[in-house]
Structures are given as C-alpha cells and as structure tokens.
Amino acid sequence: MTALPTEFAPDAPVVAPDVTMTSLSERVSDRVLLPRAPLWWWVGFSISFLLLVVLLVQMAWLFVFGIGVWGVEIPVAWGFALVEYVWWIAIASGGTIVSALFFLTRSPWRSATNRIAESMLLSAAPCAGLMPIMHLGRPGLFYWLFPYSTVMGVWPQARSPLWWDFICLLCYILMSLMYYYVGILPDLATVRDLAQTRIKRIAYGILALGWRGSASEWQNQRIVYAIMSAIMAPMVISVHSVVGLDFAGGLTPGWHDTQFPPYFFFGAVVSGTAVIMMLTILVQWGYGLHGVLTDYHLNALAKVMLVGSLLLAYAYVWESFGPLYSGHAAEKTELYQRIFGFTSPAFWSEKILTVVVPQLLWFPAVRRSKLLLVLISAGIVLGMWQERYVFVISSLAHNYMPSYWGQFFPTLWDWAALAGTIGLFLTMFFLFLRFAPIVSLAEVREIVAEEKPR
C-alpha cells in the first residue's frame, strides 16, 4: 500500500491482485460444497435457530390466545408489530438499493456485495411480511386483502394504504426472489459443476435450470438482469414510500404529513446499508474472502451510509418543522411528547445513533476500522428501530383526544416477536451462507478479467 489511501486512488483494485478466476470459484463455491460447515457457522446458526423457535412459540401463543397477549391497546392499537414491520422492510429495501440501484449506476464495488445484499433482502422480507399478518385480529383471514372474486362480490378497499402496502409488499417479495434467482443462476451452474456428491449435483443441477454458459445464455441473463434492476430500483422506492403512506395517510398527529414517503426511504438506505455492512464483514471474516470483499467495498458502503445519514438528518428537521408549521395544538403537543415525553430516551438515542455518530464516517480512518464500522452500523440499526418505535407509538399515544391518550407497554410476547424475527432473519441468512454462493462469481469474474491485464 502506498501513502495514499486506496479509496482516493481512482484505479484502486476492487478485488485483491492475487485473486484469479479459479481461486475465486473455488474459494466461494467451496463454502457451499464443503461436507461440513465451519464451527462458527454452526454456532451462529444454532443461536439463530433457537431464536426462530422463540418466534414459533410466540406465534402459537398469539394465534391461540389472541392479539391481546401483546401490549397493544386503544389508542395505541399498533405496537411492536408495525415498528418491526417498518424496520424489517427498510432493511430489506436497503438490500435492493445496494443491489439494483448501484447496478444501474455501474458501481464496480457492488458486484461483490450484491449477493450479500440480496440474501439479506430475502431474509428480511419474510420477517417484514410476517408482522402485518401476525398483528391482525383475525390472522387467518389475511387473504381477504387479495383482490379475488368472492361469492359476495366484496373486493378489497382500494383507498386503504394498507391495501396498497399489501400489494406492494407482495410484488416486492416476488420480484426480489426472481431478481435474486436470475442473478444467481450462473453461479448455481458453477456449483453444480464443482459438486462432488451426487445429491448436490442433482440438487444444484435442478436449480441451475440447465445453464450451460453459452454466449446467448449469458446475453439473455445480462439483459433480463438489467431490466429487472431497472424495475427494482424505482420499485423499492415506491414500496417504501407506500410504507410511509401507511402513516402519512392516517389522520393522526405526527403521521399526517407528506414528507413521510421520502423520510422512510432515507431510513431504508441507512438501515439497509448498515446491515449489509455488518454481514459483509461477517462473510469476509468467516469465509476468509479478504481478497474478494476488500476495504474498497466497506469504504463504499460506509460512504452510502454517511449519505443516508445526512438525508435522514434533513428528514428529521422536517419532522419537527411540519408540526410546528401546522400550528395545530395536537401536532405540537405530539411533537413535544416525542421529544420530552415517555419516548424521549428513544427519541434522543435514535437521533444520536443514526445522525450524530455516523458523522464519524467522514474520517477515512474510521471507514477502515472494521470494529468501528460494525459498531456504527449496529448503532444505526438500533437507532432505526427506535425511530420507528417513537414514530408509531408516540403518535398514537398522543392523539387528538387528550381524554383518550394512552401508552404502549410491551409484554414479554412483544419482545419474543422481536427476538424471533431476528432469529428468522439470521437463520435464513445462515442458510444462504451455507447453500448458495454468497459472492456473485459471475460478476466478480468479470471484474477479475477486466483487472488482470494490468
């Protein structure tokens, strides 16, 4: 390394010089094909799975005894379920932003991290999708939100933001799955080709859909992938804006504001990137992929995080300005309660963790310290959870009717749902780590091929 930090060099390598085509394939696909997973994987997976069991027990309890086992009440009829729904969907959206948006901008660093981002997206999306169903009073009837023809001739109510949300989320999860699959197809073929056991050859053979690597297949795959990226990038913005409309469309002080669609999107950029950051460092460490996932990637992610944090700071200013500008007593008291009331510890902690602390990322030294990056990212993820907590709870608690103000006190089952979805997320991510190439072989090979001649 020269005196000049790598990130300032315009032609700095995206992958380490010692990475070759073969070493790359082996290094990445080995992780999938090894007969035994490494110890750290087992430890991580076991803990995650235990948490997943917590989720299952929680769901059983919830479905048997009813939504009353949570701390929701009137007026705070939405509790942790909605907090976590927004939290997870934002994390998932961050995955799409990194994967699709930066594909369109042709950012070279995205190639090694996009699979991590997409795996994370697919792990987070079910957590998000589960929450609105669990939180229904009659969860068995969630399918009534589908626009299907009933004998009664009753259709969903198209004016409800919840219905937009349901449709958006459904499309988003399906699209994300397809996007992931189109991207991973060539890699599955590589794994199939390198697989030593018959079962793995058959399994990956089926998944690879007979991919042979012909030029026309490559061409079609690249075109489909590009088109899907072009769809996914605006879609994630719209999906997350609709999540914002769930609240902005509500006549509740603190929610009823046009700024929330972008506000929520900014949050998604920050929290998604933060989770990708942590997972990238995990993969880099766990799989020893230092050559493929380099400081260059972490540096780029850190910069995205910083930008997101600045956008968020901007949104926070408007969050306070709106109620003051409205002049309505209810809006003003709600803002006051957010800042100084029951939720004020979360409010301040959230601002510090998501806006103040990330300003450290201005310093290149911080961006090179993995420990600091993990800490800042974890802080952001926690801060974003608190942001949604304050946003959902405080608005409902301090509504228009002072006589009917309330407060949300989470029960053990609320916490179990939170821990449980973290378990679901991690379990899924660990399965991705184990059974699918976690770095896009095809795309990194492209970079290796481009860089080698030098």
Partner 1 sequence: MTAGLTSGRAYWRNLEELAESAEFGAIVRREIPRFADIVETFDRRRFLQLMAASMALGGLSACGPEPDPRQLLPYVQEPDNIIPGRNRYYASALTEEGYATGVLVAHQMARPIKVEGNPDHPASLGAASAIMQASILELYDPRRAQVAVGNGEISTWEAFVAALHDRRNALTARKGEGLRVLTGATTSPSLTAQIASLQQQFPGMRWHQWEPLHRDNERAAATSSFGRPVERTFDLGAADRIFAIESDLISATPGWLAYARAFAAARRPTETGGKMSRVYAIETTPTLLGAKADHRVAMRPDDLQASLRFLAGLLGAGPQEWSQAQNAHGTWLKAAADDLAQHKGGALVHAGREQPAEIHVLADAINDALGAFGKTVRLTAPIDASRDAKGQSLSDLASDMKAGKVDTLLIFDCNPVYDAPADLDFAGALRRVPFSACLALYDDETAGACTWRLPATHEYEAWGDVRAFDGTVTIQQPQVRPLYGGHSPQQVLAVLQGKSAASDYALLREYWRQRAQQENRGDFESFWHEAVRVGTVANTAEAALTLAPRRNAVTGLAAPTDRAANAIVALFRPDEGARDGRYADNPWLLEMPRTFTRLTWDNAALVAPATAKRLGVDTHDVVEIAIDNAKVKAPVFVLPGQAPDCVTLPLGFGRSAGGLGTGVGFDAYRLRQAAAPWVAQISSVAKSGDVQRLATTQAQDRVLGRDLIREATLDQFNKDPGSIAKKEEPASLYPPFDYSGRAWAMAIDLNSCIGCQACTIACQAENNVPVVGKDQVLAGRVMHWLRIDRYYSGSAEAPDIAFEPMPCMHCENAPCEVVCPVHATVHDHEGLNLMVYNRCVGTRFCSNNCPYKVRRFNFFSYTSQNDRPAESWNPQVTVRDRGVMEKCTYCIQRIRTTQIAAERDERPLRDGDVVTACQQSCPTQAIIFGDRNDRDSAVAKRKATPTDYVLLDELNTRPRTSYGALVRNPNPAIKSNQS
- Asked whether position 42 contacts partner 1 by CB under 8 A, the answer is no
Q: Which of 36, 50, 33 is nearest to 427 (CA)?
A: 50
Instruction: Give the nearest distance from C-beta 260 to partner 1 in angstroms.
Output: 14
Instruction: Give the nearest distance from C-beta 332 to partner 1 in angstroms.
Output: 8
Distances (CA, A) of 154 to 13, 158, 162, 279, 309: 59, 12, 17, 45, 44
Q: Are 301 and 113 in contact (CB under 8 A)?
A: yes
Name residues contacting partner 1, limited to 49-68 (CB under 8 A).
65-68
Q: x/- binding map, residues 183-222, to partner 1, per CB under 8 A?
A: ----------------------------------------
Name residues contacting partner 1, limited to 323-352 (CB under 8 A).
328-330, 332-333
- Asked whether position 151 contacts partner 1 by CB under 8 A, the answer is no
CA angle 86, 326, 87 (to 5 degrees): 5
CA angle 155, 158, 159 (to 5 degrees): 140
- Asked whether position 427 contacts partner 1 by CB under 8 A, the answer is no
Listed ranges 85-93, 142-150, 168-176, 284-292: which one lies at the site for partner 1 (CB under 8 A)? 142-150
Which residues does 452 contact at the CB level (< 8 Å), separation at least 6?
Answer: 20
Name residues contacting partner 1, limited to 357-396 (CB under 8 A).
396
Instruction: Give the nearest distance from C-beta 206 to partner 1 in angstroms.
Output: 38
Place of tokens 């379990």: 427
Question: Which string of DSSP letters, residue by residue, matches 258-305?
Answer: TTHHHHHHHHHHHHHHHHHHHHHHHHHHHTT-TTTS-HHHHHHHHHHH
Number of residues that bind partner 1 (CB under 8 A): 51
Q: What is the chain's length? A: 454
Of these, 154, 199, 365, 371, which contacts partner 1 (CB under 8 A)? 154
Region of residue 341 (left: phi > 0; alpha: psi -120 to 50; beta: else): beta
- Asked whether position 239 contacts partner 1 by CB under 8 A, the answer is no
Of these, 56, 402, 449, 450, which contacts partner 1 (CB under 8 A)? 402
- Asked whether position 157 contacts partner 1 by CB under 8 A, the answer is yes
Instruction: Give the nearest distance from C-beta 252 to partner 1 in angstroms.
Output: 6
Of these, 23, 160, 197, 320, which contacts partner 1 (CB under 8 A)? 160
Instruction: Give the nearest distance from C-beta 67 to partner 1 in angstroms.
Output: 6
Of these, 57, 141, 227, 412, which contacts partner 1 (CB under 8 A)? 141
Instruction: Give the nearest distance from C-beta 58 to partner 1 in angstroms.
Output: 16
Q: Half-sphere exposure (CA, 13 Å, Cβ side) for 213?
A: 10
- Asked whether position 254 contacts partner 1 by CB under 8 A, the answer is no
Q: x/- binding map, residues 65-104, to partner 1, per CB under 8 A?
A: xxxx--xxxxxxxx--------------------------
- The helix/strand/coil state of 1 is coil
Distances (CA, A) of 385 to 20, 391, 415: 41, 10, 13
Of these, 108, 186, 249, 323, which contacts partner 1 (CB under 8 A)? 249
Residue 110's H or E segment, with its range, is: helix 110-134
- Asked whether position 412 contacts partner 1 by CB under 8 A, the answer is no
Here the tokens at position 444 are 């990194």
Region of residue 19 (left: phi > 0; alpha: psi -120 to 50; beta: else): beta
How many CB atoms are closer than 10 A to CB 375?
A: 15
* Binding stretches for partner 1 (CB under 8 A): 65-68, 71-78, 132, 135-139, 141-142, 144-145, 154-157, 159-163, 166, 249-252, 328-330, 332-333, 396, 399-407
